[in-house]
Amino acid sequence: MKIDKNKIADHNGQFRESFDRDFGFVAENLSRKGIDVEKVVMKVSEFQVAVPSWALGAGGTRFGRFSYGGEPASLEQKLNDIGVLNDLTRTAGAVSLHIPWDTPKDVKAIKEVAASHGISFDAMNSNTFQDQPEAEKSYKFGSLNNTDPAIRDFAVQHNIDVINIGKELGSKSLTVWLADGASFPGQLNFQNALQNTQKSLQGIYKHLPDDWRIFIEYKPYEPNFYSTTIQDWGTSFMLANACGEKAYTLVDLGHHLPNTNIEQIVATLMLKGKLGGFHFNDSKYGDDDLTVGSIKPYALFLIFNELVYGMENNPQNPNLAWMIDASHNIKDPLEDLLQSLEAILIAYAQALLIDQKELREAQEQNDVVKCQEILQEAYRTDVRPILMAARKKAGAALHPITAYRDFQVRKSLIKERGTKNMATGL
């Protein structure tokens, strides 16, 4: 399903007046502060987020899963759905594949489908947290950290296979997240587990093409509930350094214990040139994988403040990989992803409004009140007209969710695919 640009332009027509008024207001407001709104619009339109191939169907928990009708039953259909997101936003120009959930059966055909939607292949994701049917080895007691060298080798080989698939698709990075750990005290020798993991990662790293990167994703718990071998940013940072200059840390917003200061972690990793990318989502308690900005939008804004500062002041840190990692238990997956894309761009646009120079001066003078005022002035600015301007420039929808509903996309997906499909993934 491709949504014709003219159909979108027609749909935008009804919002022309309100858009011109609202954009005029924010443009005038910002120019009074010496901010060139067109520069912000340009940066926002250049911001592309990769959509996870594993989050295009209804997610679930151990307590149940409620199917959504019209779910994609193949990688082709998943790319078509990301195509819809990209037609409506021109922000979803990449996909992050999870192997083997979404192994392309025909690489050439898949590349053509992706290209037809203007979608590139971002980070590949390996999976050594589930046993595949007929698999000769089990990851029940870990993969890269396993006490059995044969199982470690089996897991390393899987990652090498994922790199090879990615090379054919044109991807340039691999994300490694490990469920490895323990659920009971005494079950695991922490030092042995960490050393095994490091050696295994170095084994994978040896097979990384020169122009590739490896992202090491950390997580404090789940599915193991006592220890996770790569539990926090420090462990991931240490392992990335042990691997080499092509290895980086990946920050999944849901992988932090309550009240963790994630923006400080971001600042630290950028200063050290070891921040590789993000898995955007939101959470109230655990790794809830909720819609981005739905629970803690101010925290997301503070993270983007550190990202904007880092992108201006840390040339030692490479361009970041922006990805969503969410699971949709009760919302239409495509509407949920449209909301997440909007929330990411809102936080980025607000952070671009922060006068970083003025903030640095206030920080140097320990003018605590002024520091907060500078941040909240930006946070309290309604930047949605700026996002609309960026979408309008790109031929996308001023109001993507309204357009998605008015175009009855879900209805036509159900008509085309029925209600029985169950998408692979979370």
AA identity, residue 272:
K
DSSP secondary structure, 57-98, as one string: SB-EETTEE---SS---SHHHHHHHHHHHHHHHS---EEE-B
User: Of the two residues 11 and 279, which places its CB atom closer to ligand LRH in the complex?
Assistant: 279
Q: Which does 426 bind (CB under 5 to 8 A by kind): ligand LRH, Mn ion, none?
A: ligand LRH
Member of 152, 158, 219, 391 binding ligand LRH (CB under 6 A): 219
334 by DSSP, 3-state: which?
helix
Q: How far is CA 342 from the centre of its chain?
A: 13
Interface residues toward Mn ion, by CB under 5 A: 252, 279, 325
Asked if 218 is part of the footprint of ligand LRH (rule: CB under 6 A), the reply reads no
- Tell me how far, at minimum, the Cβ of 204 lies from ligand LRH, in Å: 15
For residue 374 the two structure tokens come to 């500078």
Asked if 274 is part of the footprint of ligand LRH (rule: CB under 6 A), the reply reads no
Q: Which one, of 220, 324, 320, lies nearest residue 281 by Cα?
A: 324
Q: Which does 232 bind (CB under 5 to 8 A by kind): Mn ion, ligand LRH, none?
A: none
Member of 23, 121, 177, 309 binding ligand LRH (CB under 6 A): 177
Asked if 336 is part of the footprint of ligand LRH (rule: CB under 6 A), the reply reads no
Number of residues binding to ligand LRH, judged by CB under 6 A? 10
Q: Which one, of 25, 10, 83, 90, lies nearest residue 53 by Cα?
A: 83
Asked if 97 is part of the footprint of ligand LRH (rule: CB under 6 A), the reply reads no
Residues 121-160 interacting with ligand LRH (rule: CB under 6 A): 125
Contact 385, 39 (CB under 8 A): no
Give the Cβ contact number of residue 354 at 10 Å: 22
- Tell me how far, at minimum, the Cβ of 162 lies from ligand LRH, in Å: 12
- Pairing of the two strands 213-217 and 173-177: parallel
Residues 282-311 interacting with ligand LRH (rule: CB under 6 A): 287
CB closest to ligand LRH, residue no: 177
Contact 31, 37 (CB under 8 A): yes
Q: Which does 263 bind (CB under 5 to 8 A by kind): Mn ion, ligand LRH, none?
A: none
107-116 vs 75-89: helix crossing angle, rounded to 10: 20
Residues near ligand LRH (CB under 6 A) are 54, 125, 177, 217, 219, 252, 279, 287, 325, 426
